[in-house]
Structure 1
Amino acid sequence: MRVFLNIKITDNQFSYGNDVPVSPNNTSVLDLDNYSDDLTVSSMLKGLEQSEKAVVLIAVEDDSADVKSLFKIFKYLVFSKQPVKILYSQAHPLITNLLRPCKEKVLPLEDVENAITWLQD
């Protein structure tokens, strides 16, 4: 299984919409935000753990938003042995610090097409 996880960091708890920039073939597309409850975060984490490859897009709309609910995801991204690409804008200071140990996995948001190609190979 291949996973594309879209994480939105926002100040609006009721921000809905499809923010996935492309529609990857043969890929499970998962959606999460910093207001997601523990059950949802745990389910997304399980999907990542069971994937053979993953791309995680972290879209930051509010650089001061609370991201505590997503710590399990960030921990997985740092320590994962599975192939993972992280698309991130470096816009949230805490997330930037949390991802520093795995900076080789982090790509700029503009590389989304390359990351999708890598995911589908």
Structure 2
Amino acid sequence: MDLFNHGYYWEAHEAWEDVWQLSEGQQRLYLKALILLCAAGVKVREQKTSAAMRHGSRAAATMSRAIEDATLLPLHCMEFSPQHIIKGLAAAIDQILDNAGVNAAPYRVFPFELHPAHCSPS
């Protein structure tokens, strides 16, 4: 999560992909959503808005499916939702388009961070 939260989207994608390949069920869906979100972050920084929205929309849809099948992870305790993904992506695209030019150094494009869920079982 630290890689993602500090703008290292490609590196976060690579780290989560290794775990995703070994996972199943809801955990696999959740990791796929995070990987797609990372891809959207990379595309925002490349100023490829159509690709960023496509990846972000797929991330939100995948996250929705993972939440519907909440059998393994306490996704009801997440601090962000599929709606946060779409809203954050739109804000990131607006911001990057306002600041023309691609910055080579990693930087955050999303207005939210990922954090482990801390809640009691329901």
> TM-score over 0.5 for the alignment?
no
TM-score, normalisation: structure 2: 0.33
Higher fraction of strand: 1
Higher fraction of helix: 2
Bigger-Rg structure (1/2): 2
